Structure 1
Amino acid sequence: MRGFSDLNLNGPTPARVQPRVGEWGPDEVPTTQAKKRQRIWVGLAFIAALTALCLLGWYFYKALNPGA
């Protein structure tokens, strides 16, 4: 059957790194909407962590320099 191509798109990769395939495609693949939401949450988490770090630094600065 030389006229047909090999439909195995995984090629020679080991089975442990190949995606699990369901009836219509790979299982547990995030949707585009889920990825967009995740990008927003990561940005908000970064801003929250940066704000908390700045506030903590301000608190320690005030605690160590009471006259300033």
Structure 2
Amino acid sequence: MKEYSVVPNKDVTGWLVKIEDIAPEKLYDERDTAIEKAVEIAENNKPSRVLIMDQNHEVEEERTF
């Protein structure tokens, strides 16, 4: 199962979509935009899951596809 995560960047000025918690896919200004992109990628690569982190890097939500 592939894993994607939405995490804040170092200064919490943007949100990253990361693949397997290794490679950042892209930086987004808005958290909601990053979540939408992560969900889209996960839906196209089933089975997969998306971990959505808060500004403290704690898991806030998990979605499985």
TM-score (structure 1 length as normaliser): 0.26
Structure ranking higher on relative contact order (CA contacts 8 Å, 6+ apart): 2
Judging by fraction of residues, say which structure has more strand: 2
TM-score (structure 2 length as normaliser): 0.27
